[in-house]
Structure formats: C-alpha cells, structure tokens
Chains A and B, each alone.
Chain A
Amino acid sequence: MVIDPTLMIGVPLFIAFLIPVSTFINRKFPRYLAGGTILFNLILSMLLLDAALKSPVVSYLGGWKPPFGIVLYAGPLGAMLALLISTVSILTWIYLPEYIEGGDKEKFYMLYLLLTAGATGMVLTGDLFNLFVFTEITAIASFSLLAYSKGKDEKEAMEATIKYMIIGSLSSAFFLIGIALLYSVTGTLNMADLSSRIPHADPRTVAISMMFIITGLGVEAEMFPLNGWTPDAYTGASHPVSAVFAGIVVKAGFYALARVIFSIYASSTGLGIMLVFGIITLIIGESAALRQTDLKRMLAYSSIGQMGLIITAFGMGTQLSLVGGLYALLNHAFAKTLLFMSAGAFILSLGTRNIGALDGMGKKMPVNSILFTIGAFSIMGLPFFGGFISKIVIIYASMDAGYMLIAILILSASVIELVYFLRVVQRIWMREPGDSEVKKASNASIISMMVLAAIVIVMGIYPQAFFRILGPAAGELLKAIGGA
C-alpha cells in the first residue's frame, strides 16, 4: 500500500476546522474527534515510516510536478519525526483532560490538532515556502495554546504569550526574508532544486540568506541567544502544552533548521555555527537551570541545554554524531514530555511550582514520583535509560571527529545537569513528607506517562531497534553534504 503523506496534513487540518462545529453534536465530541484524528495520523505515520525506510515517499500536491507544484517528501528522517510527533501528540491527548481549565474546550482541541498538523507538515514538506507556511501554522497554534489558560495563571500565561509572539513574529519575518533572498538568486523554492542551484548562485546573497534563516529557525530550536522566550513560555503554559512544546514544537523547529542547513545549503559554515552555538546553548542552559527554585522553569532551562546538545551533535556532521544527535532528540522528546507531565501532576496536587514543596512526594504520590525519576534519570544519561546510549554515541562521535574539547564540555554540562536533577529527585525520595493532603493523578494521565517511561527504558536497553531507523535517517541528511 502506498501511503500518501498529504493525508497526514490535510485530514487534521480539515477536521481542526470542523471541531468548533462538532460541539453542537455533543460537548464531549470535540475531544474524541481530535483524538481519532491523531490516532489516524499515528497509524499512517507508522505505515509511512515502514515505506520510507525502503525508499523515500514523494507526493506531488494536485499532481503538479516541481518546480511548479508543491512536493511532500518523506524520507526516513521525516517519517520518523512524523511518527514522533503523532506519538507525543496522542499521549498528551490522553493525559490532558484534567489539566486544562476553561469552558470552551473545543477551541483547545482545534488548536491542538492544528499544532499537530502544522508540525507534521514541517517535517514532511519538500518545499521551502511550504515549510514557512507550516512553521507559521505551528507557531500561531502554539501562541494560542500558550494563552489558553484560566484562573490564577492567566496573567502569567498572557505575559508569556506576548513575549513568545514578539520573538516569534521576529523569527518568522527573518525566515521569510531569508527565503525571499534565496528565491531572488535561485528562482525556485523546491528544496531539491535549491540545493542543486545554490552552488551557482551569488555566494554572498546565499550566505546572508542563510544567516537570516538560521536566525529565524534558531528561535524555534531554542538556540542561544535566540531562546529568550523559552523559560517564560514553558512556565506560563498549562502542563500539557509545556509537554507538547518540548516534545513537538521545538523538535519540528529544530528539524527545519537542520534540514535547511544540511539539505539546502550543505554548508560547512552552517555546521560550524550549529557546533559553536550548540555548545554555548548547552552550557548556558544547564548552568541557568542549576539555581532554579521553580520546577517548570528548571525543566525549561534543562530543555534548552538538551537542545544545545542535539544542535552540537548535528553540528559535527558525521554519521555517528547524527545518529547520536537523533537518539538524543528522541530521548529528549519522550523524557522531557514525561517530565513536564509528571511535574504537572505534582504541581496540580501541590498548588505550587516551588521545588521546595516536593519534599517527601515519593511517599505521597509514589507512581508519579517514579515516573518523574525515570524521566530525570534518562535526561541525566544514567544506564538503562535512553539518555545513556545517546551520550555514549555522541561522545564517541565527537572524539572520533577530533573534537576533544567539545566532548569535555558536553560531559561537564552533563555533570551540572546531574546535580540539579538529583537535588529534586533526592528531595522527592529522601525527605520526610509534610502533612498536607495530595490529589492523586488520574489513571489516564498515569497510563500515558507509563507509556513514555516504557519507551525511554526500551531506548536504554534495546537500542538496536532505534539504530535501525536512525542509521538511514542520519544517512539521508548526510547525503546532501557529501557524506562528510
């Protein structure tokens, strides 16, 4: 069976706009409509990945061949990320009911579906302008989801939204300027065409367009110093939205950045920029997290640090480093989503984001505490968890490529990470609990967290399953820069 990737973008987009109408049938209907659509995407993305591992799936919108029509291109990498997006999306969908407040939930589900569709579009498109459009859809859905908050957090969420929107619109403007510059010298927007024409175009314009696009996409990929929006957005958002930011939005944004640098520019300067700013992002993010007293803000900075690690790994540009970077990307997507979810359950029952309030939660909410610990251990890179494998591969890769300093910096940052995560984990397990009552997390949310925890553990003890996909995925990116 040939899977048409168009369906994975078209169907959710269409249904998203049906959702406000569907609420007339039944108040609960929007939730299940959204869930069904995501499930549809999940199944399709599995089939797509299976097909893409054999040969890339290419689909022409409306039957127009490029360079005139828009093309969707699902290689192993894109298909894998589409699967990642729908997995995180469905798990967060299971988790979320008790964590969103406000009456008109259909709006939330519409935006949620829109975000999933936009992010899926970002990873499957083969057209630069199309990439811009999907980035915008994702960004606008993210802004609105971030603002979707009622009650005492409303003001904070609003403030975070404004910040995110200001930086976000700046970023999309730069992205668009970059595309325009590129179009002016090459006359095409198809990625495959672009990569073949760029070597013959005016190098200075090409370089400047690249700087614009890196600035534009670096914002979404949380690259320092473009990531000012991150801490506030993660902190202000409701818990499922923070989880989706970490698991979907940032990953799709990073994919776009990597795709542009590897496949379109195939530029070693671009790789150098990723390497340098990646390592800076890593150090800054982890250091900033060290002194946090706010649980979600700590996770936000940790997320910045992890993105720094992934960007660094990609910046090295070898097969091994890409596999390591992709492994870290998957691990971070699952583990950080898990962390935001379980942190959400803590915060919901405690009513505060203060880390000091977590004393003795291991006795009061044992299951949730174990899930949080698994997520934290995986991010720290302890054995039996996905982070361990990714760290070993990345260190091997960096030593192999001759970047000893980078390896030492990554490991130092990893020690800092260990310190602040262990402080929280020890507080949860080793302190005596206070006598306040806690509200247990719902069964549905526990199940979705357990699935994430299971994925993270499988990544740690049976990595071969993932290497089988990551090898070709890394190869796909490398092909463009000549396997260097």
Chain B
Amino acid sequence: MLEFLNPMLRPEWMISLLFIGALLTYFAGKVSSALRTTFAIIFSVFVAFLVFLSGSRDVLTYWRPSASPMGFRFVLSINALSWFFALMISMVSALTIVYSAGFGKNTEKDNAFYGLNLLLMGAMLGVVFSGDMLSFFIFWEIMTLASYLLTTLAGKRAEKGALNYMIISTAGAYSILIGMTMIYTRFGTLEFSGLASVMGGADPMFLLITLSMLGIGFAVKAALAPFYVWAPPAYSEAPDSFTPVFSGALSKLGPYGFTLFMYGIVGLPALAKMGTFRGISDFGYIIALLGSITAVIATLYAIAQDDIKKLLAYSSISQLGYVMMGIGIGTSIGVAGGLYHALNHAIFKTTLFMGAGVLIYTTGSRKLSDMGGLGTKMPITFLTMLIAIFALAGIPMTGGFGSKWLLYEAAIDKKFVLIAPLAFIASVGAFLYSFRILQSAFLGQLPERLKGAKDPSPLITIPMLFFAGLLVLFGIAPGIPLGIIASVESYLGIPALNVSTYSVYLGANFGAYNAFTVMTVITLALLVALALFFIAKKSRKVGQTDTYMAGEVPEHHVDLYLHYSMNFYRPLERIFAPYLRNRLERLYDAFGSGYELISEGIRRIYTGDVQHYVYYVMVFLAVMILAGWWWL
C-alpha cells in the first residue's frame, strides 16, 4: 500500500527532508504562524513515519566529496542498532513538536524554536545513521549547536545553564574528535564497517585510550558521573516544550555512542583483552559502576527537589545511569536491559516532562508546593503521568518493570555486590520522588486559584496518551520491544535474548518471565484493593491547613509554608544533606575560577607600556640569536 514511499526510505532522504524542513519552517513563520506550525508537524511526523517504515534492513549510502584534502567518503547506513535508536528519537521529537503546537503561543522566538527542533531531529538521526566517524562528528556538533540554541530560547533564566551545557559538551566533543583522529591515523579509515574488522586487532592500551577519549564525550551527553553537572540546570531551564526532547531523545545519544563503539566496532573479544572482572571487561565494569553510582547520587538529589523540572532533571540523570549500567555490563541480559530501559526512559520521561510542561502552564509555577488536587480537574494529564511514573518506578503493568528487572538480573547474574545494591537503592529512591509528584500535584486539596484548571488541547493530550499506551503495551507484551532489541544484539555479536511476545526467557538461573501472567495477577490484585477501598471507605474532607493550625483561622500567607508537600522527605534529606552539597559542581566552579585567575595573570603580560613591549621584542631576538648560534 505504501510502496510509493520505498525510494524515500533512505537515511539521506530523511535527514535532508528535516534540514530542508527546518529552513522552510523558519521562513514560513515570517508569513504565518499557523503555516509554520503545520509545516513543522508535517515534516517531523512524516519523517518519523519514514523511519518507522524503513525497518532495520541494511541500507548504505556513500558520498565522496571531490577535492577534499583527506581522501575519505561519507557513509550513511541503517542497521539494526541505528534503526532502534532512530525510532526512539524520531518518535520523541515528532510527538514533542505536535505537543508544542498545542500551546499555541506565538512569540517571535517560535520560528526559531520549530526550525531548530527540526534541525535537531535531523542531526540526531544523522548521528545514528552515520556510517563513518567524520559524519558522526559533524552531526554530533550540529546536534550540540541546535540543542544549545534551543536552550537559549528560554531567555535570561537559562543563561548559566546553557553556557555550561555548551562548554562541557564542546569539551566532550573535542575529546571524541581526538579519539577519532587517533583511530584514523592508526588505521587510515573512517568507516565503521572497515574499523569493525581491524579495531579488534589493536593493542589493549590503544583501545583503552581511544575508548576513554570517545567515552568522555559520550558520557557528557549521557550525563554520567562525573560529567553530569551541566544537566540539572540545562534540563530544568530549557524551554518547557524542548525539555522532553532534550531528556527523552538527545541524552540517548550517549548510550548509543557507547554501544556503537564498545560492541559494534571494538567488539566483545577485544574488550575482554583489556582485562576482565567476573567475566565482563574491566572497561565495561567501570562504565557500569559509574552508571550505578550516577543513579544513586542523582536520585538522592531528586528526592530533595521542590521544583518539578529540577526533580525530573535529576531523575533523568539517574535513569540514564541505569541505562549505562546495563550497557556496561555487556552480557546478553545487561545490554538488553540497558537498551530496553533507554527506550522506556525515552517514553516515560518524555511523557513526564510533557506533563510537567502542562502543569507549569496551568499553574504558572514550577514549584510542587504551589500545586495540588489537580487529579480531578485534569484526569488525562493525571492518568498519563501516573502510568509514566509507574514505568519510572518500575511497577508491573508498564514497560519500566521489564527493563529494570532485566537490569537487576544482569547485575545479580554476575554477582556484582557493589552494582546490584546501588541499583536497588536508586530504585527505592525513584519511587519516593516520583510518588512525590503524584501526591503534590494531583492528590491533596486544590488551591483556590486553580479552580479553573482543565486538561489541555488534544494536540497535547494525544502524544501523552500515545506514549502512555505504549508503556502499557510494553508491560503486557515485552516481546515487541525486546524482539527488536534481540535483533540489535545479534547485530552487535552479543548472544541474543530469547523472547516471545509475552514472555522473556533468561536462562537456567532465572527461568522465564511471562508478562501477561504478571499483568493479570497485578490487575486482579488492584481490583481487589479497589473494591476494598470502596467498601471500607471512611474519609472526611478537611481543609488543607487544618492539621497544622488546630482550627485557628490561618493568615493569608500561611499555606505557603505549610503546604503538605513542603519538606516532604525532611528526615531523609537531613541524613543525606551533608553528603550532597553540590561537591562536584564546586569542583568545576573552582576549576573555572582558577583558570580565570590564570588568564587574569596572562592578561597582565600586555601592560600597555610600550617600553615593556620593546623589551619583549629585544629579549625574543636575543634568545633566538643565542639559540641559533649555539645550535649550529
């Protein structure tokens, strides 16, 4: 039926459609804002559809630029790995564009917003479709630039966050550039397919250095400790309708880079040459350990947040830590868990940031303590965020359960006594902070000023419902995503996971997990609980501040301090506070201000006094002549 689209199922088509679309959208905005928004939606959704249709069949495109001084060709390719990530990216990007259209704001910045969003989507697809290191790097840089510019659209508030994001990302990108040129000068080829056959034979030291250089760049995008300091301010201060892409799609390029280079190019046997620990490579173990540490640290920060976007920002960092943990472990279950969690995270965190955007738009505040009782007023937002939070906390019935379960099994399987407990702690924490969102925003009493709140327009709710539906579908039938992931694994040369539509078989130690059965049991249990709730319901509505004021009439400002979600986890915060005083940020700040001091000293070389300058010239000449004399 859709055969006429077949010639367009090529990476160069998808990327150029988006780049052209970016320009068209921007200039259409000069004519009419409705035309611009329509263009943006059509281009992004159409390309997302193309990506979906193209499937994971191998497509390769070459383009050899003439007169280049380096003698290379550009390669774009679609394969199992890149298709999996492209699907995730295009889904999140396209639906977020639809979502942003729902707000119907029209400022002059919106032209740039939609144009840059399409550019970013094109660049992200470019990164995953790249078949050689140079196009990878070029698209990577375009991606960083576009996301930086999108962040700056938030105005003065985002100033520091945007600058830090750009500085750390650029430093990371340069680290990638060094790693790539090292590989290029050693092997003389830029293409992944060519490298995959030679990199395995390289000496372990070389592999370690290049993988570390590349890894620093990827770790920056994945917000892995100790490189995550840019993420909380950037995620939380970026425009509300960009954050879903930022956290949902863009951060996945970090795990993509690791997967591509660790397993797609270097390969498991060569990784093992660098030394192993309980059957997995040392390099992978370090990544997994960093991932689990990130998960715990970021969770602890998230628990203490009152700002909903900050909370979700820290939560993103922590969930990305899980993803990196799975990818680092590198076993069949580990990689499957990592990739599956990446997909789940893309879906549920996008939904949560979308929901946060709706809440901020409705309440005019980002503070959880300014919200409350919105569940009845905004049922769709409530329902979708509820499902997303279930997925985040790893509660059965949603995809999140399956991925977290795989990750635990992967850590337990290898008897990682450090990683597994860290993952458990982070998971409990994830439940604490995500419950907080539900409780503070949707349950409890509705503040007087929010009486008029209602669900937003269908353009906003449809993407959110779509994602929530996917999460439930994955909860019942994990075989759908895990089937794709199994094909990615066999493409990467990792033993593929044994899956059928409803169940996953994890080997002799763990047996199989039948999602459908689990789902049925849990649903039944919930129904019983619900029935009990209605039978035994004995509740009375009380005023919001009653518990604190003991019946006295509160003054106007009191509920500001006594909102039920203030200091929600105070005891917990009290325990962890001494360890969490932004130590890492301080280290970066100290480095920055240290260098500013040095540069202040260097600036003093230029005294403004011409006698000094003459002196410099004379000394230079004298030293040169003496050196020349002595040399010859």
Contacts and interface: CB of A to CB of B under 8 A. Distances in A.
B177 A392 contact: yes
B177 A411 contact: yes
Contacts of A229: 610, 613
Nearest to B601: A287
Contacts of B184: 396, 399
A166 B619 CA distance: 16
Contact of A228 (B142, B162, B603, B606): B606
A429 B152 contact: yes
27 contacts: A163-B610, A166-B613, A167-B613, A170-B614, A174-B621, A207-B629, A208-B628, A229-B613, A273-B624, A287-B602, A288-B606, A290-B599, A291-B603, A320-B70, A383-B142, A383-B145, A392-B134, A395-B178, A400-B181, A404-B182, A411-B174, A418-B167, A419-B167, A426-B162, A464-B66, A467-B68, A470-B69
**Nearest 6 pairs between A and B by C-beta?**
A228-B613, A399-B181, A287-B599, A411-B174, A225-B616, A211-B624
A89 to B, nearest CB: 27
A463 B70 CA distance: 12
B182 A171 contact: no
A384 B141 CA distance: 10
Nearest to A214: B624
B167 A468 contact: no
B156 A431 contact: yes
Contacts of B167: 415, 418-419, 422
A323 B167 CA distance: 27
B170 A415 contact: yes
B600 interface: yes
- The binding surface of chain B is classed by DSSP as helix
A56 interface: no
A323 B624 contact: no
Contacts of B627: 211
B174 A215 contact: no
Interface string B166-192: 110011001001100110110000000
Nearest to A429: B152
B518 interface: no
A468 B155 CA distance: 42
Interface in B144-171: 145, 152, 155-156, 158-159, 162-163, 166-167, 170-171
B67 interface: yes
A110 to B, nearest CB: 27
Interface of B: 65-70, 134, 137-138, 141-142, 145, 152, 155-156, 158-159, 162-163, 166-167, 170-171, 174, 177-178, 181-182, 184-185, 595-596, 598-600, 602-603, 605-606, 608, 610, 612-614, 616-617, 619-621, 624-625, 627-629, 631-632
Contact of A225 (B137, B600, B619): B619
Contacts of B603: 287-288, 290-292
Contacts of B598: 287
B121 to A, nearest CB: 16
Contact of A426 (B66, B163, B628, B631): B163
A151 B142 CA distance: 45
B614 A166 contact: yes
Interface in A282-296: 284, 287-288, 290-292
Contacts of A228: 606, 610, 612-614, 616-617
A291 B614 CA distance: 24
A319 B617 contact: no
Contacts of B162: 426, 430
B82 to A, nearest CB: 20
Given A287-B602, A291-B596, A430-B156, A167 B166 contact: no
A171 B614 CA distance: 10
Interface residues of A, number: 69
Given A291-B599, A419-B163, A408 B178 contact: yes
Given A226-B616, A320-B70, A430-B152, A208 B629 contact: yes
Contacts of B631: 207, 269
Contacts of A464: 65-68
Interface of A: 162-163, 166-167, 170-171, 174, 203-204, 207-208, 210-212, 214-215, 218-219, 225-226, 228-229, 231-232, 269, 273, 284, 287-288, 290-292, 319-320, 323-324, 382-384, 388, 392-393, 395-396, 399-400, 402, 404, 407-408, 411, 414-416, 418-419, 422-423, 426, 429-432, 463-464, 467-468, 470-471
A92 to B, nearest CB: 26
Contact of B185 (A383, A400, A422, A431): A400
A219 B617 contact: yes
A414 B632 CA distance: 36
A430 B155 contact: yes
A30 to B, nearest CB: 33
A471 B68 CA distance: 9
B133 to A, nearest CB: 11
A468 B67 contact: yes
Given A207-B632, A383-B142, A162 B621 contact: no
Given A166-B610, A171-B617, A291 B181 contact: no
Nearest to B68: A467
A375 to B, nearest CB: 15
Contacts of A396: 70, 181, 184
A430 B621 contact: no
A162 B610 contact: yes
A273 B181 CA distance: 25
Given A208-B628, A415-B174, A422 B599 contact: no
Nearest to A467: B67
Among B159, B606, B608, B616, find the residue whose CB has the most chain A CB atoms closer than 10 A: B606
B602 A204 contact: no
A408 B610 CA distance: 33
A225 B620 contact: yes
Given A422-B166, A464-B67, A290 B624 contact: no
A430 B161 CA distance: 12
Contact of A291 (B134, B158, B600): B600
Among B166, B602, B613, B631, find the residue whose CB has the most chain A CB atoms closer than 10 A: B613
A290 B167 CA distance: 14
Contacts of A418: 166-167, 170
A228 B617 CA distance: 9
Contacts of A468: 67
A407 B181 contact: yes
Nearest to A170: B617
Given A291-B596, A399-B182, A211 B621 contact: yes
A384 B599 contact: no
Contacts of B137: 392
A454 to B, nearest CB: 15
Contacts of B608: 231-232
Contacts of A162: 610
Given A399-B181, A411-B174, A415-B170, A288 B624 contact: no
Contacts of A423: 163
Given A288-B605, A291-B603, A431-B156, A167 B614 contact: yes
